[in-house]
Chains A and B, each alone.
Chain A
Amino acid sequence: MDKKTVTTISYLSRLKIDDEKEEKIIEDLDNIIKFVDQLNIIDTSDVAPLTNPLEKTAKTRKDIVTAKNLKKDLLEVAPSSNDDYFLVPRVVE
């Protein structure tokens, strides 16, 4: 774990890390990874990958529309909106 990796991860997660905390975070992440790394001691070559710890399968839905029109409520709780749309700072490709 180095400064560059932490910078990349924090950018990808849109998390701002204060400069003075950066070293501590690098150290913490390093320790976490070392801790989890212990799992590699065990040979899991004939164990199928686990997709969910519940080891159950999903209940599914029938294809039916159940949602109500929540437009007004949803737009109201957004940080910025007009009568029809959520508004965000302009993003253009």
Chain B
Amino acid sequence: MSWETVIGLEIHVQLSTKSKLFSGGSTEFGAEANTHVDLIDMGLPGVLPVANKEAFYKAIRFGLATGAKINQTSSFDRKNYFYPDLPKGYQITQMTKPIVEKGSIKIYLDGSEKVINITRAHLEEDAGKSIHDLFDGETGVDLNRAGTPLLEIVSEPEISNAKEAVAYFKAIRQLVTFLDICDGNMAEGSMRCDVNVSIKKNDSSELGTRAELKNINSFKFIEKAINFEIDRQTKLLENGESVVQETRLYDSEKNETRSMRSKEEANDYRYFPCPDLLPVVISDKELIEIKENLPELPEEKEKRYVEDIGLDKSEAVIISSSKAMANMFEEASAKTNDAKLVAKWLVGDVSALLNKDNIEIDESKLSAENFGKLIERITDNTISGKIAKSVLEDIWENGSDVDKVIETKGLVQIQDESILEDIAQKVIQSNPDQVSAYLNGKDKLFGFFVGQVMKETQGKANPKSVNDILRRLLK
């Protein structure tokens, strides 16, 4: 029997507004517990929520960028459940009239392209945080996060395996960071995801019973949790048992999913329109303004890099893969007149350093200005490409200024041809055997002489000048 996997993702994206969705409380991450809690976030009697327009604008940017329908009138509903980090006993969300419906996004996997449809993206408020392990027998509650605006992006069940799910999540992350509506910081929980997994017989048109995997916050765990779940469900069905529709928690330490039975009985949210909030209307004028101010998107950047700047497709793909990378490229290029060389270094040496340190470019000490200057010093012949590599390593480690490194370490390229000629003469005199072999037709030895001169100059010679001089002297 062969089985087919069907996956749908619900991604919660924290919108990067300054204040909360319905109150003037701050959304700053990492503040002292319970210092960013407004009376509205507490759900105290007599308060009324007022919607933050900026959250709508950010949601609309996402909608426009995914070719979705924007509901210019959208409304709020209450989702009722009890949990200590949900002070009001209900979450305000958009059930019946979400702000965004029916979009799509392209994902790329192993060189092929697939479109994943987005059912809807709606605004809702985040809950607070429960801290279970600090206090004996009690749970601590920090409500700083309560009321932070979330955009919940719901995909159609069109994802076929764990790798596609990760590619989809990455594509959404890339898009929301380019749109500047979310910082994409996974470690701080700015993006979290619930995964619906079911399997069905290959020839069946009916979907199988699904399990929902809750609150996964890293690419690695999405893949592992899904693969564990596919395996678990396949075994159940092959043994003639059935999958139970339930919420399961992924335990990254044990690499397994397990049932969250406590949530089962409460899974009746009794949605109804929130009587505290009137429908929010976005005018045509507002919509046009948002559309006109949409930033350049990854796909457009990639196209421009290839067509206007002349980068290789593979370079353009890597550079447009993240906003930080694209910014580094564009800002550093503005400092030089050789954008192609900037791209070559960014994709080559800089990417290698990123991989080695396992960080993103905006976490490194390399500034666009410094990087641009480094490339400039190669193009104006101050240093050779080889020396530039060692300068890069230095500024990578210490964040020091390119020109200072070149000056203090005495790395300036030797421009004076007479000095180079003297060195070349010495090399020729001290290697008579190689000289005669070369002159007798062993052309490959030319590289040996170049190498010797470079060695004598500690790499500071301009390779082109060395080549010219040696060719002249070795006739």
Contacts and interface: CB of A to CB of B under 8 A. Distances in A.
B139 interface: yes
Interface string A60-71: 111111110111
A19 interface: no
A interface, by DSSP: helix, strand, loop or mixed? loop
A63 B19 contact: yes
B17 A63 contact: yes
Given A65-B18, A85-B140, A90 B53 contact: no
Contact of A91 (B37, B132, B279): B132
B334 interface: no
A17 interface: no
A60 B52 contact: yes
Contact of A86 (B54, B73, B140, B275): B140
Interface residues of A, number: 37
Contacts of B82: 14
Nearest to B273: A51
A75 to B, nearest CB: 6
Contacts of B131: 85
Contacts of B135: 82, 85, 87
Contact of A67 (B26, B141, B265, B280): B26
**Range for the number of chain B residues in contact with chain A:** 35 or more
Contacts of B39: 70
B33 A57 contact: no
A75 B139 CA distance: 14
A93 interface: yes
Given A70-B37, A71-B35, A58 B278 contact: yes
B139 A60 contact: no
> Among the interface residues A60, A86, A88, which one has the most CB atoms of the partner chain B within 10 A?
A86
Interface in B136-166: 137-143
Nearest to A84: B33
Interface string B12-35: 000001110001111000001111
Given A52-B279, A64-B19, A86-B140, A11 B26 contact: no
Contact of A90 (B36, B132, B280): B132
Nearest to B41: A67
B277 A58 contact: yes
B361 to A, nearest CB: 28
A65 B140 contact: no
A60 B52 CA distance: 6
B266 interface: yes
B18 A63 contact: yes
A54 B48 CA distance: 15
B18 A64 contact: yes
A49 B25 CA distance: 33
Interface in B369-397: none
Contact of B38 (A11, A67, A90): A67
A51 B97 contact: yes
B255 to A, nearest CB: 17
Contacts of A64: 18-19, 24
B42 interface: yes
A59 interface: yes
B268 interface: yes
B266 A74 contact: no
B19 A12 contact: no
B270 interface: yes
Contacts of B130: 91
A63 B266 CA distance: 34
B37 A88 contact: no
B171 interface: no
Nearest to A11: B265
Contacts of B281: 57-58
Contacts of A88: 84, 138-139, 141
Contacts of B26: 65, 67
Contacts of B260: 93
A71 B143 CA distance: 10
Contacts of B75: 51-52
A58 B277 CA distance: 7
Nearest to B132: A92
A64 B38 CA distance: 13
Contacts of B2: none
A83 to B, nearest CB: 9
B83 A61 contact: no
A67 B25 contact: yes
Given A57-B73, A71-B34, A93-B260, 8 more contacts: A58-B277, A58-B279, A63-B18, A67-B23, A67-B25, A69-B35, A88-B138, A93-B249
14 contacts: A12-B268, A51-B97, A58-B278, A60-B53, A63-B17, A64-B18, A65-B19, A65-B24, A66-B24, A67-B19, A67-B36, A67-B38, A85-B134, A87-B139
Interface of B: 17-19, 23-26, 32-39, 42, 50-56, 73, 75, 80, 82-84, 96-97, 130-132, 134-135, 137-143, 249, 260, 262-263, 265-266, 268, 270, 273, 275, 277-281
Which 3 A-B pairs rank lowest in CB-CB distance, beginning with the nearest?
A66-B24, A85-B140, A63-B54
